[in-house]
Chain A
């Protein structure tokens, strides 16, 4: 089967390319700092060292606090999001109320609002509320869910046979009970998909926490590696950051280090 052979060849090449950066990271994480500094990045670790991992737990720049913060952020957002999402999707799929279709149209329209275009006003609004550099500043904008997930779940709820809900209602169940006892158990596959999607998205989120927090107090996990890389580089040389040259070229030279050190630390009056 030449065709099967070729399929495997292509799939294997793609898998190797996909995995290589992960394997390289794992291999490097097991090296001693000396070996990392002296030998080729491709050399296998010898001796094997758990030094880097020990540093992450008990070292000076431990990862434990950011890990705890990130877990709290993810859990609060995911719970809030799933509750709001299930209620809204049920209402749009199963309830009749004036303005429903107009509201749903609004939801569909907001699907087109890109985050990048509204990060400045969100920052301004949450600053006005005094939530800059707070836990709720990170969490609040996301915990009511997104129109995208409402849209997906509504489609799913609509496909549930009306008879099942009628039966529940005949038995005297209100909408909340019908949702909890009939609709949600039937929707486990899509709910677990949405759970994974929202949890992964929030775990990986970087830009919003970067904007709304400053300093170490509420630093999330994703902000750690880049902060370390910047700190490490800043000690050695600046040439790696012509980054600012474009947008900041008309700023006084003195302002440039802001980007490395005092990000977001200007406070309004």
Chain B
């Protein structure tokens, strides 16, 4: 590419090939990720119902949603949902991974079973669970013999949906921890045994600290996906009763595609985006200080 220094040991450049190779993928990243981020900010400044022409409002949508109890409640419901789901699925996933890591006969079969909910459609699982939770025709009440309104009681609806979400993701978390456990050199545990550490001590002092990178990955990705939960809620409660399970994805969907308030939905999207970036960066900051690859 640079005729002035022919073959003078400079690294070869592949400018044309480089752009040609990145090109197709870049269309997707720019067209369907970057541009939408700019467009969503644009839409959030307008009043737009898809039918009549959009009207410029400035920051009015933000003023409206930030004082709208439905949006505030939705953020709260989402936060509560994440707090109910993520710690439990990480703890249970880690527990299952430790059990599977013992590699007793039959472990592979268990691994396949635990991966099932992860490869099934969340929407379909939500539909099945909704029927299991049904107060009169549901399997759960038939099993216990009590009539419990799992999904229409304000107190039980969110924990019920959260339980289903945990059920869906535990196996997935376990598979990641299993990979993390496989990456810990056996010598560390041997050394601990020789020094007289019990297996519980080895777990807390060696295994868990060395799993921090896995935990970081699982935590950040699970927070992001759990904040965006839609399918499960849509199938099970559609946000009810009285908004008790109206997570922010569900609210944005309804604002945009059943109430046709695109501007308001867009401004909610922007607020959600900013909050999610903040949470992700905070987690990154927290773990960057704590991830150690050596036993200290």
Contact = CB atoms under 8 A, between A and B. Distances in A.
Nearest to B114: A18
B210 interface: no
Given A97-B18, A144-B29, A251-B259, A84 B24 contact: yes
A119 B125 contact: no
Contact of B265 (A10, A87, A120, A266): A120
B126 to A, nearest CB: 8
Given A4-B104, A96-B14, A222-B123, A263 B255 contact: no
A118 B265 CA distance: 10
Contacts of B99: 7, 10-11
A229 B127 contact: yes
Q: Chain B: interface residue count, which band?
A: 35 or more
Contacts of B160: none
Contact of A175 (B21, B121, B224, B255): B21
B179 to A, nearest CB: 11
Contacts of A222: 121, 123-124, 231
A189 interface: no
A267 B39 CA distance: 20
A246 B116 contact: no
Nearest to A97: B18
Interface string A91-130: 1100111101001001100101111111111111101000
Contact of B240 (A41, A114, A243): A243
A206 B32 CA distance: 18
Nearest to B77: A246
B240 A97 contact: no
A17 B114 CA distance: 10
A115 B35 CA distance: 13
Interface residues of A, number: 91
A264 interface: yes
A116 B249 CA distance: 6
Contact of B269 (A84, A117, A127, A241): A117
Nearest to A100: B18
A114 B116 contact: no
Interface string B222-252: 0010011011001101111111001011011
A24 B235 contact: no
The prevalent SS among residues of A at the interface is helix
B45 interface: no
A137 interface: no
B75 interface: no
B34 A120 contact: no
A97 B13 contact: yes
A116 B272 contact: yes
B73 interface: yes
Given A8-B104, A11-B99, A18-B114, A207 B28 contact: no
A78 interface: no
B259 A248 contact: yes
B96 interface: yes
Nearest to B270: A117
A134 interface: no
Contacts of B270: 117
Interface string A211-223: 1000000000111
Contact of B32 (A141, A175, A249, A266): A141
Interface stretch (B79-87, B136-144, B187-195): B136-144
A150 B33 contact: no
A91 B17 contact: yes
Interface string A49-72: 000000000000000000000000
B22 interface: yes
A135 interface: no
B235 to A, nearest CB: 6
17 contacts: A14-B110, A91-B18, A113-B37, A114-B224, A114-B276, A116-B230, A117-B272, A120-B40, A120-B252, A175-B21, A204-B121, A225-B235, A229-B127, A246-B70, A247-B239, A248-B254, A263-B258
Given A14-B114, A226-B127, A266-B50, 7 more contacts: A21-B132, A114-B224, A120-B266, A144-B31, A175-B17, A246-B251, A247-B258
